[in-house]
Amino acid sequence: MAYVKVNKRKILFFTDYCKKNDRSYCDPKTRKMSNLIVDFKYEKHCSPDPFQSFSAKLNIAIHCIARYCINADGIVLVAAPSSSIERDKNSPLKKAVKICAKKLGFEDGSNILQRKMSIESSASCENRERNSIEQLKETTECTSKLKKNKAYILIDDVTTTGNSMRAYSSILKENGANNVVCFAFGSTMLKGESFEQVGYTIDDYFRDNPIKVYKRSLGIYKYRRFPKGIEIYHRIPLLDFEEQALIKMGWKKRNADCYYIAKRNSNYKKCEAYALKHFDKG
């Protein structure tokens, strides 16, 4: 299952998004996810809680992306700023990014980008002038000196033209970032479009945009030997299908973060080779 997709502007995203006036041609799933994004953005109180639902799905998406960044010397989650200064100080997106960073064990960079001058929101703006890259850069500031060895995952709720992502990505790179991955929860879908038409996957994206590192990280995934076998452990919670794949291979679950296999197991050699290839020595 593709948890993260790539749109025509080569931006990673989780779900198609339809504007309120264009939802007549959307399938039920897209309409439901579009409503979730709107409820999340405007902090509507309903059941199920939009913030909790959005955060849970965001964790899954960022986890998927992070697997492609494990060679970086740390992963930083960066939230795109809101259109107004007041809203930007405590936006739902920044709250969700903080929670996601804490849950997955990444660095919280939710306040790295801040709005220094309010601009008109896309919802109230009839034309797209406010989305110009130059204007977005002029009204946004980076509050930290960034490190080139780290991977910065730039997160926004919705992308339409891609200008915001390009502007914020440019700001991060101008302040020292070498690896910036752009991710939007929703990608605006025009009538008749769908992500399947792109034919470009997350594997293709990271093949064309590899994470550049100058120093091998300590590793999110590690292995260590013990007298009776070998064990692997990880800082990122595994998805269900990943756990099932390990168990099918022969690994036994020791706890939430650790799997092991004994030397007497008939699959030991295969699992040992897998650990040596994909995990750092712990």
Residue range 148-177, pLDDT digits in tens: 889 999 999 999 888 999 999 999 999 999
What does pTM read for this prediction? Answer: 0.76
Residue 250 vs residue 25, higher pLDDT:
250
Task: Say which CATH number the domain at 61 has.
Answer: 3.40.50.2020
Q: Within this chain, do residues 112 and 141 fall inside the same structural domain, yes or no?
A: yes
Where is the domain boundary, 144, 175, 208? 208
- Mark whether 115 and 164 lie in a shared domain: yes
Q: Which domain holds residue 247?
A: 221-281
Give exposure, 178-215, as e/b (b: 16+ Cβ within 10 Å).
bbbbbbbbbbbbeeeeebeebeeebeebbeeeebebee
Q: Distances in Å between the alpha carbon of 228 and those of 11, 30, 278?
A: 46, 50, 21
Does one domain contain both 195 and 235? no
**80 within a domain of the structure (yes/no):** yes
Choosing from 208, 242, 270, the residue where a domain stops is: 208
Q: Does one domain contain both 118 and 197? A: yes
How many other β-carbons are positioned within 10 Å of the β-carbon of residue 231?
20
Whether residues 185 and 258 fall in one domain: no
pLDDT digits (tens, 9 = 90+) for 142-155: 999 999 889 999 99
Residues 158 and 266 in one domain: no
Residue 277 is assigned to a structural domain of this protein: yes
- In tens, the pLDDT along 51-82 reads 999 999 999 999 989 888 877 888 999 999 99
The number of distinct structural domains making up the chain is 2
147, 268: one domain? no
Whether residue 226 is contained in a domain is answered as yes
